[in-house]
A and B are shown apart, each in its own frame.
Chain A
Amino acid sequence: MKPPPFRYVRPSTVAEAVAALAEGGARVLAGGQSLVPLMNLRLTSPETLVDINRVAALDLITERDGHVVVGATARQADALGSALVRAKAPLVAAALRQVSHVQVRTRGTVVGNLVHHDPASELPAVALALDAGFTLVGPHGERQVGAAEFFLGEFATATAATELVTEVRFPCAPPGTGAAFHEITRKARDWPLLGAAAQLTVRDGEIVAARVAVSGMAAVPVRQHDVEAALVGRPADTSAVPAAAARAHADVAAHVNARSGADYRRRVLPVVVRRALVSALDSALDPAAGHRAAGSGRAARVEEGAA
């Protein structure tokens, strides 16, 4: 289990990185926590690896225009340890806490996890629920893609082989927001079988906004507009939650996510959604609970980094 040979390129600017990608046969190396295992197993053999870890401009976690912006090399551990992320993107923090292990999150990046797009992974559902935005830079310049258009299929996103995703932007959560990610795993910290991302905003005793998406059901995360609609305008207690959760749906793709069958996921989906909603509501009503749930990460290294 040794990786195949490749050409190693280490640009220091986005332009250099994009130029290297334009030569073809290249993959971006950011955290490498998904790519390198695949290479060690020789399941993938890129001709060139473009190591973007020295592109300083990509190493940021910052607030801009009402969004929490996470650059392409910001580590999951940094995001988890970021007070900004915990305060303004609590759903990201809640999900990150369940992503892999401490020792992987120190290297693994938020953007890399999204671009890799394992359909059972937590962050794609979070990005979809929050209508996150992605910036892609390629040979023909920069373009913006929304989460709803970003995830195309298992391990496939709108990112072309010659494009670099430079950042992801999560809309800042308004005051009174609580978030939770609930997932089912076979064992502690294993890959999830399925999961639900939920973010609820409460004002004056009423649920005023709801964002819900599920992972692991199909080739892409599935937004739960019906669930959201059944919650908005309802009192900020759990009375509406069971009925709303029961409206969770997804065209379960049996072939996707072979770690469990379609019947299982279909049956457990409303349970997972309900539990995520209950936790999200709890944290909306008691911010301390949300803070506890978000857990503690390593202190942010790139807090408020320069763009």
Chain B
Amino acid sequence: MSEQPGVRVHLVVNGVDHRAEVAPRTLLSDYLREQLRLTGTHLGCAHGTCGACTVLLDGAPVRACLLFAAQADGCAVTTIEGISPDGELTAVQQAFQDNHGMQCGFCTPGFVVSLTALLTAAPHPTEDELVDTLDGHLCRCTGYQNILRAGRQAAGLAEGGSR
């Protein structure tokens, strides 16, 4: 039970340098939430299933609950708070509001982060790529239809019914 020696880390989170000593077992999600007070990264399951804690690690979407903060040493992390630093909704965020792609909002940051990563890597993804990305997230409120609508709007894909 004894806590192990700390690990010195240097992360760039949402463009800001952070240096800290963390316990090896500190999950990245807890580091972001508890130490940096970036509470938009939500913990819905802590076993990698729900996707609510998704952040970008060097631009790629990852589950922050499945990564130790020590592993992110030297990496750039983008959280939901860094998706729109000026507080204006991005096209992805606006698409969620326009299409009622959210209700309780708990899962929403994860969806926004993943979708932002997809559209950064591939501004014109296929419907399959969009669905593949959305499939990595659980939402219990919306039934996904309006999230898919939001994704299609943000990706410039045709609206419409069944896939």
Contact = CB atoms under 8 A, between A and B. Distances in A.
A51 B135 contact: no
A112 to B, nearest CB: 12
Instruction: Give the one of A32, A36, A296, A299 with max B CB within 10 A.
Output: A36
Given A6-B4, A101-B135, A37 B25 contact: no
Given A102-B61, A103-B61, A188-B135, A36 B67 contact: yes
Contacts of A3: 25, 27, 68
Interface in A59-92: 77
B65 A40 contact: yes
A49 to B, nearest CB: 7
Nearest to B53: A103
B46 A7 contact: no
B132 interface: yes
A161 interface: no
A41 interface: yes
Contacts, number: 103
Interface string A1-21: 111111110100000000000
B48 interface: yes
Interface residues of B, number: 39
Given A32-B67, A33-B66, A2 B114 contact: no
A102 B27 contact: no
Interface residues of A, number: 33
Instruction: Give the one of A2, A3, A7, A189 with max B CB within 10 A.
Output: A3
B136 A104 contact: yes
B162 interface: no
B61 to A, nearest CB: 5
Contacts of A49: 24, 68
B66 A37 contact: yes
A80 to B, nearest CB: 11
A5 B25 contact: yes
A103 B46 CA distance: 14
Nearest to A10: B70
B133 to A, nearest CB: 5
Interface of A: 1-8, 10, 29, 32-33, 36-37, 39-41, 49, 51, 53, 77, 101-104, 106-107, 188-189, 295-296, 298-299
Interface of B: 1-5, 7, 23-25, 27, 30, 46-48, 51, 54, 57, 60-63, 65-68, 70-71, 114, 118, 121-122, 126, 128-129, 132-133, 135-137
8 contacts: A2-B30, A4-B1, A51-B71, A101-B51, A101-B132, A103-B63, A189-B136, A296-B129
